[in-house]
Amino acid sequence: MREWLGLLARVVVGGVWIAAGAAKVTDPAASVQAVRAYDLLPDAVVPTVGHLLPVLEVVVGATLVLGVLVRASAVLSALLFVAFIIGIASAWSRGLQIDCGCFGGGGYDPDAASKYPVELARDAVLLAVSLFLVRWPRSRYAVDNVLLPQRRPAEDSPDQGRDQGRDQDQDPDQLQDEHSTVSLEGQS
């Protein structure tokens, strides 16, 4: 069941990143304006962040949807959501009336204060889903399943309980005789 939840988590979070990045990648000037509106970064860095952020969002989204390097992509996703939560909370606490710029746009928005709680809740839920993928990156239909096949540890082996304490070089027929003897002794 966890692998199906992982697939759902990958598609939802990855889809959000792709939609957010695609909306901004076509209008880099608006993306730069949205970053600048938060008034958190030095002016020299704002254009670089405004141009690179949409590309990063699309890449993180695509890797999550495809299931490529899921844990690393989920870590990046979680870090981005933490940054966005901090940014939105900071704007709200400073009384800024700006569009979050999450899906394009940005700049002044007279209704921004009423949108901040919803935006923070959305990003908090997506952060939690990203952290789920950090903890449990394996999921259905992921490229990682082909590129990085999961080795089954010895303790997960179905024979683990039966073989525990058995010498590796012991003859299986001798082991069967030992089990039979124990069973017979228990019945006497």
Among 33-42, 145-154, 157-166, name the most confident range.
33-42
In the DSSP assignment, the letter for residue 149 is P
Q: Is the pLDDT of residue 169 over 90?
A: no
Confidence class of residue 149 from pLDDT cuts 50, 70 and 90?
confident
User: Token digits for 180?
Assistant: 């039979």
Residue whose pair of structure tokens reads 């590796």 in the numeric block: 168
Instruction: Encode pLDDT of 32-55 as tens digits.
Output: 999 999 999 999 999 999 999 999
Instruction: Encode pLDDT of 81-121 as tens digits.
Output: 999 999 999 999 999 999 999 999 888 899 999 999 999 99
Which residues are paired to 108 by β-bridges? 98
Q: Is the pLDDT of residue 165 over 50?
A: no
Using an 8 Å Cβ cutoff, are 53 and 9 in contact? no
Q: What confidence score (pLDDT) does residue 158 get?
A: 52
Tell me how far apart the terminal alpha carbons of the chain are, to the nearest angstrom: 45
Q: What confidence score (pLDDT) does residue 27 get?
A: 94
Share of the chain above pLDDT 70, in %: 80
Q: What confidence score (pLDDT) does residue 168 get?
A: 47
Question: How far apart, in Å, are the Cα atoms of 63 and each of 15, 163, 164?
Answer: 10, 40, 40
User: Token digits for 108?
Assistant: 């002044």
- Largest Cα–Cα distance of the chain, in whole Å? 87
Average pLDDT over residues 144-159: 69
Q: What confidence score (pLDDT) does residue 173 get?
A: 47
Q: Is the pLDDT of residue 170 over 80?
A: no
CA–CA separation, 13 and 126 (whole Å):
6
Q: Is the pLDDT of residue 176 over 60?
A: no
Q: What confidence score (pLDDT) does residue 87 get?
A: 97
Instruction: Encode pLDDT of 63-83 as tens digits.
Output: 999 999 999 999 999 999 999
CA–CA separation, 98 and 87 (whole Å):
11
Using an 8 Å Cβ cutoff, are 76 and 60 in contact? yes
134-162 burial: b if 16+ Cβ within 10 Å, else e: bebbbbeebebeeeeeeeeeeeeeeeeee
Q: What confidence score (pLDDT) does residue 6 get?
A: 96
Residue whose pair of structure tokens reads 């959000």 in the numeric block: 16
